[in-house]
Structure 1
Amino acid sequence: MENLVSTILNQLAMIALEEVNLVRGVDAELEKLTDNLQAIQAVLEDAERRQVMEATVKLWVEKLKDISYDIDDVLDEWNTALLKLQNSEDVKKVCSLPTHPSGFCFCQVGLRHVIAVKIKELNARLVDIVNQKNAYNFASGTGTGRGNQETSRLLTTSIIDVPKVFGREKDTDNIRNMLLSGSSTEGATLRIISIVGMGGLGKTTLARLAFNDAGVESHFDKKIWVCVSDPFDDSRISKEILESLGTGNTDLVGMGAILEEIGKGISGKKIKILLVLDDVWTEDSTRWEPLRNSLLKIASPGSKILITTRKEKVAMVMGSRTTDMYHVGILSLEKCWDLFTHLAFSERTGEDRKKLEGLGGEIVKKCKGLPLVVKTVASLLRFKKSEQQWQNVLESELWNIEKVEEDVFPALFLSYYDLPSILKHCFSYCAIFPQDHVIKKGELIMLWMAQGFLNKTTQHNMMDVVVGSKKGKETKDMEMVGEEYFHELATRSFFQDFEKDENGEIVKCKMHDMVHSFARFLMRKECCLVKVDGLEKPWKANLPSKTIRHLALMMEAEVTFPIPRYNWEKVRSLLIQSDGSNSRRENNLLNSIDKLTCLRTLHLNLGADLQKGMLSRKIGKLIHLRYLNLSYNNVLKTLPEAICDLYNLQIFDLSGCSKLRRLPQGLGKLHNLKYLENKETGKLEFIPKGLKRLTNLRILRKLRVDTNKNSFKLGDLGNLANLQGSLMIRGLYNVKKASEAREARLSTKIGLRHLDLVFDSLNESGGENEAAVVEALQPPPSLQRLEIWYSNGPTLTPSWITYLTMVKTIVLSDCFNWKTLPPLGKLASLESLCIQNMKKVEKVGQEFLGMDTSQEEEDGATTAFPNLTKLAVDNMAVLEDWEYVNPSSKSSGTGVIIMPRLHSLTIKRCPNLKALPHHLFQHQLRELSIEGCPILSQRFEERKGVDWPYISRIPKCSIEPTPETLSLTVPSSC
């Protein structure tokens, strides 16, 4: 709430700096609006604290929030009108009258009058709220939101992953033994074991430990983990099981077809299965029995199903007579203390710890043996430095709150109300996801961005904006701010189950179901999550309250999509998940889309049903829209020009629209666009030239260079100085001059991490100018992944390839005229190298190492490919020799050490390759695959081949003389 009011005040400050007024007399209304909001802002901290215990205060806060949203919408409408009219193309279209220096056309008096009237009406409503404020005797605060100074300090604190389950060693052993032992029920083929206990006890963690145990791994033929959650979605669960089995068609629709496919099993054989069903709630046995019957057809004796649930009745329904229940109790005080100290004292000196241990012990007692509560409170206290701060937590009145609903505990209130205002918004917005949803960090940050949580006006106070430029002074990118906000919430244990990329960065996470329930409780009047499955009466599309701002719908095939009726008008987020098997419902929605005028976020995941006709010009009415996701709509070929009227659009996701051919001609009008996600759009050929005007663009996943005079050219990339992440450039055979490639200025785009250069032409005789073009496409030295495909140029590789000191992965494919491999040995960061389809490379030799090995260096041996761990060589038809002049001599310590860390080696379809150098088979090698290489296969034949001794100790080794069925090779990220 504090953040919302602060955002509005900053918007008002920006409007005051504009040289164009709305209409005569409105200045006084704007001043009155500002004064009223400043008076409210001064007491908001106290009001938000008191609303937990005082129902009347809570009602006042809710009224304030409702009108604040309305004010925000009106101010955004005004800013959007200015933005639209400042576009030179629109000014010409709207009128021929003179324009103000700011770009505002004086013929738009009607629009200005409408907005001015709305502001007056809102002022009248706000006055009543200000008058009510005085009756509550709120204490005045700073008005800037508690914790602003603390925010900067917390950003340096690391996320602690708890390395073990405290106090659950015996439980872990017992559950593992139950999985490995025989059935307690005679004759039971599919034994069911239930872990039962209240929320926050660590049931899922215990199940995960058992699932990943080495003994359990070897005991079962197949292990499957499915997060069930509530409601029990039998179709989704069955589909996940089918995908894990890997038996065949996973695109089936309908429970009957899916269950039948599951019943076929793997090659018609019965196997010993371990199936974990995590977080089961349903007590309806009819939802479970069809799936169990299908599993019985493929499960051999000894198969197990392990479920976690809070209800003993659920365990009985799931298994009847074949169920063994394991009850999980609370942690002992001693184990709670161990967990608490691990988190709360992780960065403290012994002296600091000694001062706080007494208070800590009293706080742990209040956690009542629940590991999640201990973890939450300890994560909070980790940031509290003084004894008084710990004392305040111990004596907080929030401990006295009785559970307002299942799983909402006082500890969660404590941690939540300690957050700065903006982080409260970021956390509570996560209520829009289903329970147990895998949250993609990048997507979450974009959703926060669309709701205005990361705007520069939310990061600075009024003075920062007033003394800055007219456009405000942005000290940090929104993306960076989003990363920091996510990090802070993670350090406070609001997120868990982190998945990381190869660089150790978090990319995915989950929320504990109790924490998710808490977010849903906080947003119960603003967020609505509905699963419409056709089993109940048709949903009437009436939202329960006009205060609903965020709506998520999960649709199934049997239902007709609702036409928006009542209480939809103020929805700001609409996220729809659909299986795409019924187009009528999408038509109903999109025909009424212009009624949802407050939308900031629109995610239409409609499978294969969204077509151009459904995206009518009405979508241009959504003037507040910041986030538009049309990903994986597989029929969509073109987009309406009306999308180019979405002047506030920041994120446009077209990923997986595999049949999309063109982007709208007017795309260049979207000056606020930052993310154009267009990966997996293999047929996208036309990108309009106007895209070069989008200087704020950060993400452009794919660009195809063509000869259309109205299309975006390679040289136009020079205007997009802020590009980052990954970029694929296709159709480079159309670039005839190196000067155009230089104009792209790739070397200056330091945010680029992955670059794919794809020439596309399969004509091996062409490419006279390609050497110069490739040389001019020099990427930035910060590049981490490089791919070059279908180059027809001469034999020389680009000189800049040896200067990519940070590159970790290189793929070189179908460079038809290259006769030698590039000198990559000096790339110290290179970890993965794939070389394939080089039709003229006859030898791998000295040049590959990139250094002179003919002379011994005085300082001893040097190292080529010092960090390479994975090497793949494929389809090198004329390759015969692989040897060097002076390999390392360990006895003398001279020469060159080659690939000392190689872990995985793959050699495929090299029929003439005579031998491999012995340095490839050092002690680090753990995986070897040789396929379609008859000469090599003979040399490595088990116990007979001349080189068998070199590979006999490799743990994972596969030697196949004939290749697998050939498949068309295409760039991995097309």
Structure 2
Amino acid sequence: MAESFLFSIAESLLSKLASQAYEEASRVLGLYDHLKNLKDTLSLVQAVLLDADQKQEKNHELREWLRQLKRVFFDAENVLDEFECQTLQNQVIKAHGTTKDKVSHFLSTSNPLVFRYKMAQQIKDISMRLDKVAADRHKFGLQPIDVDTRVVHRREMREMTYSHVNDSDVIGREQDKGEIIELLMQQNPNDDHKSLSVIPIVGMGGLGKTTLAKFVFNDKGINKCFPLKMWVCVSDDFDLKQLIIKIINSADDSVFLADAPDRQKNLNKMDLEQLQNQLRNKLADQKFLLVLDDVWNEDRVKWVGLRNLIHVGAAAGSKILVTTRSHSIASMMGTASSHILQGLSLEDSWSLFVRWAFNEGEEENYPQLINIGREIVKKCRGVPLAVRTLGSLLFSKFEANQWEDARDNEIWNLPQKKDDILPALKLSYDLMPSYLRQCFALFSLYPKDYNFTSYGVIHLWGALGFLASPKKNRAQDDIAIQYLWELFSRSLLQDFVSHGTYYTFHIHDLVHDLALFVAKDDCLLVNSHIQSIPENIQHLSFVEKDFHGKSLTTKAVGVRTIIYPGAGAEANFEANKYLRILHLTHSTFETLPPFIGKLKHLRCLNLRKNKKIKRLPDSICKLQNLQFLFLKGCTELETLPKGLRKLISLYHFEITTKQAVLPENEIANLSYLQYLTIAYCDNVESLFSGIEFPVLKLLSVWCCKRLKSLPLDSKHFPALETLHVIKCDKLELFKGHGDQNFNLKLKEVTFVIMPQLEILPHWVQGCANTLLSLHLSYCLNLEVLPDWLPMLTNLRELNIDFCLKLRSLPDGMHRLTALEHLRIKDCDELCIKYKPQVGECWDQISHIKQITIDEQKIWKKR
């Protein structure tokens, strides 16, 4: 299916070839004519790619032609990347190179004469191959289509919440909810207080089993009946120990954030007997409801082991609610008859479709679309996910032929398993623009239930060159956020939540299945069942713990992405010279292999949480294409590599080191650096005194035990938008800040685990016109919020969590008219005073659209 990306790849290649930088560099190197010929042929091919993509489903020969083009395109990308590498290297040698560097450069294969000859041969070869393939385009009768018209019709997004499903958000499930609640309220069979009732909800994927379980879980009557409620997502991995740990964590929602990592580590070290004791203590004498969501395990031995451990602490009347796609699993686990979840009725499906396809009441204006829409709904077979996907796909489209295309598209006739709704989802994929398709396909590299952040997506898409070239005043991350919104508008993302300057989200299991399906030619999730890696694979992800792939055979030499958590010294990437992304989180390398400096195409190197690595080779600084370097949590790293200023493309840098003094001038010379994290640098006492960061947008400082000084002002940080300060006990946020700090343009400020913080720093007031989000968490000595807080007239989100001494909000909260989200958790006095509807100070905050007080959430429409 990767052939559907070709239009976007061709567009990217042509954009590079047309740029002024390429033209100037090609003239210097004497390659202008060669690149012009390549560009001309590429333009001819691109013109018919969209037509070819639409016709390939029926034509095997056409699909093979597109596969040949894909191979040429990938090779062309690599050649042009070589060209960029050489250009960047020349810049570094000119700006920072010593005489020895320049002599060495001249004598190497990077010598301009040698490089020109080598590149000319490669470009000629690419041009000849492309000419040969392009000549065949005429026999398919392809017509030129210049613009990818499969665009997203943007609309105002409806505010939705997924953690607590409101009645109005669920259509056609009232009877299901009532039946399940009745089962949960019933006394255990035969009045047997020792039994533990297990009630399964069974149905095919996408029917809304999880939504229904949440609908029940948040019911007021259920809250009264079960003092303790726990929610655990089981998914594919039915690991007994990890499930017990999840249940323990779910049962205890009052864990201090500061203690959570150590506590989690301690739980991981325990054996099952110790964990059982922990679990018994949590469940003792409490009537509980436990939801086990998305169970796939068919091993009865594993289930009986888990049930027996839970049963030890179960009080009379406790219940387990299970969601699963499998009737055999339900039969194995259930003590009561399964609740078989059926599809929605046609009328309920239609109501759901109308909600997503039209604005409220708008459907009455388009009677010609009603009959077509009802035929589309019939094809969804009562599956809410399919209904919602197609409804949102047709939002703001009012031409009958557009609706008929959705109804008549041949994708419905693709072979499928019984009750499989992949065709419904794939239609949404097929109508995506090419640039969005290749981005979506990369979700297949992550396991189900993965917690995505927009930060992670930005470095993934950005490092692979999938993001369009930013226009004036737009950054790379702005483009990525736009793509995410477009995917969300097509109902392909769930729980899409804004946190001020970043987003979190999930994808539904069926959407994950779709990503796997469309990416199967290019992406591979490697597990112990995989024997070999096909030569066409571009992106690899190792998903199983303790699987190192030693027995794998591979013909793939063009791999661009390797996600390899936990990799050890046996991992060898030397053959993958075209790597763009290398993720080695939690790896066990003590030193990186020296060839790492030869991976000149590398854009992203992720070494987070390597607890053994002590040194990095200085050759890393030869990677002029490197945009993302993540060293957070490498707590044994003695020093940063020398020559950081040579990483002239670095965009996002995370640092952990034992150094007492960071090479600040080197870092400040990174002219593209926009995101900087300093974490677990236990020996650093001061940061950035007098150092300017002209384009830095985010500064995050984590767990620096000795840090005392962090001067911030608009002169040295003119572009800073986001500041996170987390668990820096000795940091004095008030010292060294003059009036000039009132000019900071911060949009998001976060203070977490800051016991020394008794009042907010006065310089936050200087962000009155820009601050959008303020997060205060575990600031245990914060006693009062300043009177000037209501001056933050653009503030949209205020989170206050576990600030135990904080007793009230400042007067004038009503002036925060832009405030949309207020969350207060584990602040006893605040929670009582501002309790929705009944608190003595409720009127001061009742104008806010979303208010969450100790997890009780309410929304109000404006």
Q: Distance in 1 between matches of 2:388 and 2:842?
A: 41
Number of aligned positions between the proteins: 804
Q: Distance in 1 between matches of 2:426 and 2:170?
A: 24
Q: Distance in 2 between matches of 1:796 and 1:229?
A: 44
Distance 1:205 1:907, change over 3 A: closer
Answering whether residue 200 of structure 2 is matched by residue 194 of structure 1, we say yes
Superposed, which structure 2 residues align to 1:814-893 within 5 Å?
Answer: 824=788, 827-828=791-792, 863=811
> In the alignment, which of 416, 439, 443 is matched to residue 430 of structure 1?
443
> In the alignment, which of 83, 86, 90 is matched to residue 85 of structure 1?
90
Superposed displacement of residue 670, structure 1: 1.3
Superposed displacement of residue 380, structure 1: 0.7
Post-superposition Cα deviations, 1:326-380, rounded to whole Å, max 9, x if no partner, equal 1111211111110011111126746633342232222222222221111111111
Superposed displacement of residue 212, structure 1: 2.2
Q: Distance in 2 between matches of 1:63 and 1:650?
A: 30
Question: Which residue number corresponds to residue 749 of structure 1?
Answer: 719
Superposed, which structure 2 residues align to 1:259-408 within 5 Å?
Answer: 260-267=274-281, 269=284, 271-319=286-334, 322-346=335-359, 349=362, 352-403=365-416, 407-408=420-421
Question: Which residue number corresponds to residue 130 of structure 1?
Answer: 134
Answering whether residue 574 of structure 2 is matched by residue 594 of structure 1, we say yes
Question: Which residue number corresponds to residue 115 of structure 2?
Answer: 111
Superposed, which structure 2 residues align to 1:720-731 within 5 Å?
Answer: 720-724=694-698, 726=700
Q: Residue 662 of structure 1 contacts residue 684 of structure 1 at CA under 8 Å; is this kept in 2?
A: no
Structure 2 unaligned runs (5+)? 1-5, 256-261, 844-852, 855-862
Superposed displacement of residue 572, structure 1: 1.5
Distance 1:420 1:205, change over 3 A: same
* Range 41-50 or range 699-708, more displaced: 699-708
Q: Distance in 1 between matches of 2:58 and 2:14?
A: 28
Secondary structure of 1:595's match? coil
Superposed displacement of residue 673, structure 1: 1.2
| AA partner of residue 154 (structure 2) | L
Percent identity (aligned): 29
| AA partner of residue 550 (structure 1) | H
Question: Which residue number corresponds to residue 846 of structure 2?
Answer: none
Q: Distance in 2 between matches of 1:164 and 1:809?
A: 29
Q: Distance in 2 between matches of 1:309 and 1:819?
A: 48
Post-superposition Cα deviations, 1:277-334, rounded to whole Å, max 9, x if no partner, equal 2222232323433222322222233332222222211222334xx3521111121111
Superposed, which structure 2 residues align to 1:424-463 within 5 Å?
Answer: 424-456=437-469
Distance 1:658 1:245, change over 3 A: farther
Superposed displacement of residue 194, structure 1: 1.5
Question: Which residue number corresponds to residue 671 of structure 1?
Answer: 648
Superposed displacement of residue 606, structure 1: 1.8
Question: Which residue number corresponds to residue 498 of structure 1?
Answer: 496
Superposed displacement of residue 565, structure 1: 4.7
Answering whether residue 137 of structure 2 is matched by residue 141 of structure 1, we say no
Superposed displacement of residue 772, structure 1: 5.7
Superposed, which structure 2 residues align to 1:917-956 within 5 Å?
Answer: 923-924=840-841
> In the alignment, which of 178, 184, 203 is matched to residue 179 of structure 1?
184
Post-superposition Cα deviations, 1:213-259, rounded to whole Å, max 9, x if no partner, equal 23223333433322222354445434323433459953368898246
Superposed, which structure 2 residues align to 1:363-762 within 5 Å?
Answer: 363-403=376-416, 407-456=420-469, 474=472, 476-501=474-499, 507-532=503-528, 542-543=532-533, 545-557=534-546, 559=547, 562=550, 565-578=553-566, 586-589=568-571, 592-606=572-586, 609-611=588-590, 613=591, 615-660=592-637, 662-678=639-655, 685-702=661-678, 713-716=688-691, 718-724=692-698, 726=700, 744-746=715-717, 748-749=718-719, 751-754=721-724, 760=730
Distance 1:389 1:550, change over 3 A: same
| AA partner of residue 148 (structure 2) | G
Structure 1 unaligned runs (5+)? 460-472, 579-584, 839-843, 850-862, 870-899, 909-915, 927-954, 957-974
Q: Residue 751 of structure 2 contacts residue 779 of structure 2 at CA under 8 Å; is this kept in 1?
A: no
Q: Distance in 1 between matches of 2:478 and 2:331?
A: 49
Q: Distance in 2 between matches of 1:362 and 1:813?
A: 54
Distance 1:360 1:92, change over 3 A: farther
Secondary structure of 2:643's match? helix
Taking structure 2 as the reference length, the TM-score comes to 0.81
Q: Distance in 2 between matches of 1:276 and 1:812?
A: 28
| AA partner of residue 504 (structure 2) | K
Distance 1:154 1:317, change over 3 A: same
Superposed displacement of residue 773, structure 1: 4.6
| AA partner of residue 572 (structure 1) | R
Distance 1:345 1:833, change over 3 A: closer
Q: Residue 233 of structure 2 contacts residue 294 of structure 2 at CA under 8 Å; is this kept in 1?
A: yes
Q: Residue 189 of structure 1 contacts residue 300 of structure 1 at CA under 8 Å; is this kept in 2?
A: no
Distance 1:596 1:314, change over 3 A: same
Distance 1:2 1:820, change over 3 A: closer
Secondary structure of 2:744's match? coil
Distance 1:729 1:215, change over 3 A: closer
Q: Residue 804 of structure 2 contacts residue 828 of structure 2 at CA under 8 Å; is this kept in 1?
A: no
Secondary structure of 2:578's match? coil
Post-superposition Cα deviations, 1:508-558, rounded to whole Å, max 9, x if no partner, equal 2222211211111111121111344xxx7xx76x31x1111111112434x
| AA partner of residue 522 (structure 2) | E
Q: Residue 45 of structure 1 contacts residue 145 of structure 1 at CA under 8 Å; is this kept in 2?
A: yes
Distance 1:23 1:450, change over 3 A: closer
Q: Distance in 2 between matches of 1:303 and 1:70?
A: 61
Q: Residue 604 of structure 2 contacts residue 627 of structure 2 at CA under 8 Å; is this kept in 1?
A: yes
Distance 1:659 1:226, change over 3 A: same
Q: Residue 540 of structure 2 contacts residue 561 of structure 2 at CA under 8 Å; is this kept in 1?
A: yes
Q: Distance in 1 between matches of 2:680 and 2:265?
A: 30
Superposed displacement of residue 699, structure 1: 1.2
Secondary structure of 1:720's match? coil
Q: Residue 179 of structure 1 contacts residue 304 of structure 1 at CA under 8 Å; is this kept in 2?
A: yes
Question: Which residue number corresponds to residue 847 of structure 2?
Answer: none
| AA partner of residue 498 (structure 1) | F
Q: Distance in 2 between matches of 1:57 and 1:798?
A: 65
Taking structure 1 as the reference length, the TM-score comes to 0.72
Superposed displacement of residue 41, structure 1: 0.9
| AA partner of residue 416 (structure 2) | K
Distance 1:868 1:657, change over 3 A: farther
| AA partner of residue 517 (structure 1) | D
Superposed displacement of residue 682, structure 1: 8.8
> In the alignment, which of 209, 212, 217 is matched to residue 211 of structure 1?
217
Superposed displacement of residue 31, structure 1: 3.4
Q: Distance in 2 between matches of 1:105 and 1:204?
A: 59
Higher relative contact order (CA 8 A, sep 6+): 2
| AA partner of residue 715 (structure 1) | G
Q: Distance in 1 between matches of 2:609 and 2:550?
A: 22
Distance 1:647 1:712, change over 3 A: farther
Q: Residue 709 of structure 2 contacts residue 731 of structure 2 at CA under 8 Å; is this kept in 1?
A: no
Q: Residue 23 of structure 1 contacts residue 113 of structure 1 at CA under 8 Å; is this kept in 2?
A: no
